[in-house]
C-alpha cells in the first residue's frame, strides 16, 4: 500500500494554517511541515497557489488544495475514519458550516480591521469583534447546551474553524486597545476555550499567545507607521 504524501505550507502565526494543523492532528495524519517566509515565498508555494500566493496550502500526493475551510473539508473527506469533523446529519452539517463561515465573515473580518483601521473605524472594529464573540458564546449555548464544543463532546468542523482565534485573543486585545469581557459575561465561550486548550492535538501546534501578540503588534506598528 503506497503511503500518502501530505505536506503543509504554512506561516506560524496564521489562524488559517492553524485550522489545517488542528484538523490533521485531530485525525492523526502525519504530514511534512514547511514554514514559509511571506516576504520570500518559495517557488513551491507560488506554484501550488498561483491565484493568491498565500498559505496555507495542503499538498496531498502532489495536488495542492487552498483556502483553509476548503482544505479542512477535503481533509475530512479523505480521512473520514478518524475524528469525523462534519456531522452526518445534513442539518447539523449546515450549522457547523455556518459557524465556520461566521468565523471568516465576522470574526476574522473584524480582527482584520482592528489591525488595519484608524479612528472611528478602529473603534467600530473592536465593537464588531466583541459582538462576534458574543454571538459565538450564544451559539455554543444553543447548539450544544451543557457540552464543551460545537461538536458536543468532541471538536467538529466549527470548533476547528474557530479555535485558532483563541491564541490570537491577546494580540487582538493589544492592537484593539481593549480587554475582552470575561467568563461572567461569556460563560459558554470561556468553557469552550478551556476545553479546546486541553485537547492534546490542539496543544501540539498552537503558537504561544505572547508570541502571536508580539507579531500582531508588529503588524499594527507597520500600519501606524505608514499612516
Among 63, 203, 204, 222, interactor with another protein by CB under 8 A: 63
| Nearest distance from C-beta of residue 75 to another protein, angstroms | 9
Residue 101 in contact with another protein, rule: CB under 8 A = yes
- Single residue of 20, 71, 107, 195 touching another protein by CB under 8 A: 71
Interface of this chain with another protein, residues 22 to 61, rule: CB under 8 A: 51, 60
Work out how close the CB of 65 gets to another protein at its nearest, in angstroms, rounded to a whole number: 5
**112: contact with another protein by CB under 8 A:** no
67 forms part of the interface with another protein (CB under 8 A): yes
Q: How far apart are CA 6 and CA 59, in angstroms?
A: 6
Binding another protein (rule: CB under 8 A), the pick from 73, 140, 191, 201 is 73
Single out the segment in contact with another protein by CB under 8 A; choices: 5-13, 95-103, 160-168, 172-180.
95-103
Q: Would you tell me which residues interact with another protein (CB under 8 A)?
A: 51, 60, 63, 65-67, 69-71, 73-74, 77-78, 90-91, 93-94, 97-98, 101-102, 135
Amino acid at each position: 500500500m503506497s503511503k500518502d504524501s501530505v505536506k503543509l505550507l504554512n506561516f506560524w502565526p496564521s489562524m488559517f494554517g492553524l485550522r489545517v494543523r488542528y484538523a490533521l492532528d485531530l485525525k492523526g495524519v502525519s504530514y511534512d511541515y514547511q514554514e514559509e517566509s511571506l516576504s520570500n515565498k518559495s517557488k513551491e508555494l507560488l506554484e501550488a497557489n498561483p491565484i493568491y500566493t498565500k498559505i496555507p496550502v495542503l499538498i496531498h500526493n502532489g495536488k495542492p488544495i487552498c483556502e483553509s475551510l476548503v482544505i479542512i473539508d477535503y481533509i475530512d473527506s479523505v480521512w473520514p475514519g478518524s475524528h469525523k469533523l462534519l456531522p452526518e446529519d445534513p442539518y447539523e452539517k449546515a450549522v457547523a458550516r455556518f459557524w465556520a463561515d461566521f468565523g471568516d465573515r465576522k470574526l476574522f473580518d473584524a480582527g482584520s480591521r482592528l489591525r488595519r483601521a484608524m479612528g472611528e473605524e478602529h473603534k467600530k472594529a473592536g465593537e464588531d469583534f466583541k459582538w462576534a464573540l458574543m454571538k459565538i458564546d450564544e451559539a455554543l449555548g444553543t447548539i450544544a447546551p451543557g457540552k464543551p464544543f460545537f461538536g458536543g463532546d468532541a471538536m467538529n468542523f466549527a470548533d476547528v474553524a474557530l479555535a485558532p482565534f483563541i491564541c490570537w485573543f491577546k494580540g487582538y486585545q493589544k492592537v484593539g486597545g481593549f480587554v475582552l469581557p470575561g467568563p461572567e459575561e461569556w460563560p459558554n465561550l470561556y468553557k469552550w476555550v478551556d476545553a479546546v486548550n486541553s485537547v492534546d492535538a490542539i496543544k501540539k501546534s498552537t503558537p504561544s499567545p505572547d508570541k502571536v501578540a508580539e507579531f500582531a503588534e508588529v503588524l499594527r506598528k507597520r500600519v501606524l507607521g505608514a499612516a
